[in-house]
Amino acid sequence: MILKIKKLHKDAIIPKYATSGSVAFDVCALEDYTIFSDVIKVRTGLAVQLSTGYELQVRQRSGMSCEYKNYIANCIGTIDSDYRGEIMVPISNNSNKRMVIQKGDKIAQCLVKKCEIVKFLEVDELDKTERGAGGFGHTGR
């Protein structure tokens, strides 16, 4: 598969896979940021063109979360196939120290996933299962 990627800024870094076994590629910060106890949208300077039926998932990098107790504010972000704007990564800092992101730092990892596009059918009843409507903690600890 070819992922079309556009630099929206001359300093944007085209991503690449870190190793031959990687399924996710890193995206980098376009600018310097200092994050205290808030959420900042970190720019990448990149836009992508996905085929219909695919998404680009934006995920946390484990190294950053261990060092700063930060996370991507929407957990896993989805870039839809019809979005052509800049990829932005909402990063939250939950530590008691300031988090510094420098231009060019790897801030998130991304992967392309195939998604089934469904049709909706409203029904009066759903098939019965052993679990039924059992939700959070229904099987005990």
For 50-84, write each residue's pLDDT tens digit. Answer: 999 999 999 988 766 666 666 677 778 899 999 99
Which CATH number is 4-114 given?
2.70.40.10
- Of 123, 104, 113, nearest in space to 43 by CA: 104
Predicted local confidence at residue 93, as pLDDT: 84
Mention every residue, 6+ apart, whose C-beta is less than 8 A from residue 131.
138
Q: What's the pTM value of the predicted model, to 2 decimals? A: 0.84
Burial 37-53 (b: 16+ CB within 10 A, else e): eeebebbbbbbbebeee
Return the sign of the alpha-carbon dihedral for residues 40, 101, 58, 51: positive
Q: Spell out the domain ranges in the chain.
A: 4-114
d(CA 28, CA 116): 29
* Residue pLDDT, tens place only, 27-58: 999 999 998 878 899 999 999 999 999 999 99
